[in-house]
Amino acid sequence: STAVHSDVSPMTLTRYMIEESNQNLDKEHLVDLQGIMSGIQVACKKISSLVSRAGITNLTGLEEGGGSVNIQGEEQKKLDVLSNEVLKNSLRFSGKMGVIASEEEDEPVVVDEVASGNYVCVFDPLDGSSNIDAAVATGTIFGIFAEDDEQPCLINDDEGDLDAQKAACLIQTMQPGKNLVAAGYCMYSSSCMLVLTTGHGVNGFTLDPQIGEFVLTHPNMQIPSRGKIYSFNEANYPDWDPTLQKFVDSLKDGSNKSGAKYSSRYIGSLVADVHRTLLYGGIFGYPGDAKNTNGKLRLLYECAPMSMLLEEAGGLATTGRERVLDVMPTAVHQRLPLILGSKEDVQELVDLYQAE
């Protein structure tokens, strides 16, 4: 954007969204996205505050002392549940939402506020929550779909059978990642950063605690075409397919195409591992393996939004066999193998799979 960021006129996320829509009237949805992003950024500021003070306010640890398990079969942390409520409500009151699907909600939630719209938000309210009690980086991941006009998600109370109507909405929520109109994450780490794409490049905003605003610090983020870092949970190496094992071995001993010996970095929070990969380059993966053929990460609210960001930043995101953004979801919480990062790194692995 032509405007510049300065102390007397900070390029806040709010201002950026206004300018982007004013400068690109052809970009459908940008005016609506202003309202949606206004809600999301307030929720992220609130979650950032909750996370950073968790130890003080007794918000670490498990929900209900360990009794609450989500549909993924994971024991929910208190902050999983709380951040889900914070984000769900800010989306509901944005007046733009039709349906929201969350890692922490068994079924998509139909937003039937008086002022509701026809967007669908998919989100992981607290990613990397196994790290939260150790104050290691965590994040929020979100994706925005525009509801398919031909099949609006209208819940009609007097038609009864709300479950059948909700099931229809559930199908509504299912769109391939290439249909996303916006995707992003907020990372709660040494600094709080919100990274966003509306389909025309990737921009990074850092929360300035002095003014309580996200300000533009990383305009037009582009991932290096090759990196020197690989990021996998190598505890699963014995269960990986031989092609992946050989590829990662080649990163370690320098026999890969770049000739470089890579370093390993694995934080165990997807948001933090993706953010580092986006900035430094390299390759991240949570592949399918002998124990979990579809890996661990969820397509709708982890793989698809991250894949949109990586492609918009000039990188690649694949299951190993196909482009993540082409995958048509069949269930809200379905898992998908995810390999993403620098174009040359990911392409080298894809070529090995294709040569199998």
Q: How far is the CB of 146 from ligand AHG (least distance, A)?
A: 25
Q: Does 224 bind ligand AHG (CB under 6 A)?
A: no
Instruction: Please tell me whether residue 32 binds Mn ion under the rule CB under 5 A.
Output: no
CB closer to Mn ion out of 50 and 153: 50
**Of the candidates 84, 116, 203, 269, which one interacts with ligand AHG according to CB under 6 A?**
269
| 128 counts as binding ligand AHG under rule CB under 6 A | yes
Candidates 32, 63, 127, 345: give the one binding ligand AHG (CB under 6 A): 127
d(C-alpha 141, C-alpha 84), whole Å? 11
Contact window for Mn ion (CB under 5 A) among 21-29, 66-74, 249-257, 307-315: 66-74
SS (H, E, C) the chain: CCCCCECCECCEHHHHHHHHHHHCCCCCCHHHHHHHHHHHHHHHHHHHHHHHCCCCCCCCCEHHHHCCECCCCCECEHHHHHHHHHHHHHHHCCCCEEEEEECCCCCCEECCCCCCCCEEEEEEEEECHHHHHHCCCEEEEEEEEECCCCCCCCCCHHHCCHHHHHHHHHHHHCCCHHHCCEEEEEEECCCEEEEEECCCCEEEEEEECCCCEEEEEECCCCCCCCCCEEECCHHHHHHCCHHHHHHHHHHHHCCCCCCCCCEECCCCCHHHHHHHHHHHCCEEEECCCCCCCCCCCEHHHHHHHHHHHHHHCCCEEECCCCEHHHCCCCCCCCECCEEEECHHHHHHHHHHHHCC
* Per-residue tokens: 321: 């066999």
Residue identified by tokens 């390029």 is 11
CB of 207 to ligand AHG, least distance (A): 20
75 near Mn ion (CB under 5 A) = no
Contact between 147 and Mn ion per CB under 5 A: no
Whichever of 74 and 133 has its CB closer to Mn ion, that residue is 74
Stretch that binds Mn ion, among 74-82, 152-160, 162-170, 219-227 (CB under 5 A): 74-82
Query: Which of Mn ion, ligand AHG, none interacts with 179 (beta carbon under 5 to 8 A by kind)?
Result: none
Residues contacting residue 133 through CB under 8 Å, at least 6 positions apart:
54, 60, 61, 77
Which residue's Cβ lies closest to Mn ion? 127
Contacts (CB under 5 A) with Mn ion, residues 88-117: 103
Binds ligand AHG (CB under 6 A): choice among 133, 268, 279, 353: 268
Closest separation in Å from C-beta 302 to Mn ion:
5
Residue placing its CB nearer to ligand AHG in the complex, 139 or 204? 139
**How far from each other are the two terminal CA atoms of the chain, in whole angstroms?**
45
Q: Pick from 74, 107, 208, 241: which binds Mn ion (CB under 5 A)?
A: 74
Contacted by 286, from ligand AHG, Mn ion, none: CB < 5 to 8 Å by type: ligand AHG
According to the binding rule CB under 6 A, does residue 270 interact with ligand AHG? yes
Q: Which of residues 297-356 bind ligand AHG (CB under 6 A)?
A: none
| Nearer to ligand AHG (CB atom), residue 118 or residue 129 | 129
Q: Name the minimum Å distance from CB 339 to ligand AHG.
A: 12
- Positions in the binding site for ligand AHG (CB under 6 A): 74, 103, 124, 127-130, 233, 268-270, 286, 296
- Positions in the binding site for Mn ion (CB under 5 A): 74, 103, 124, 126-127
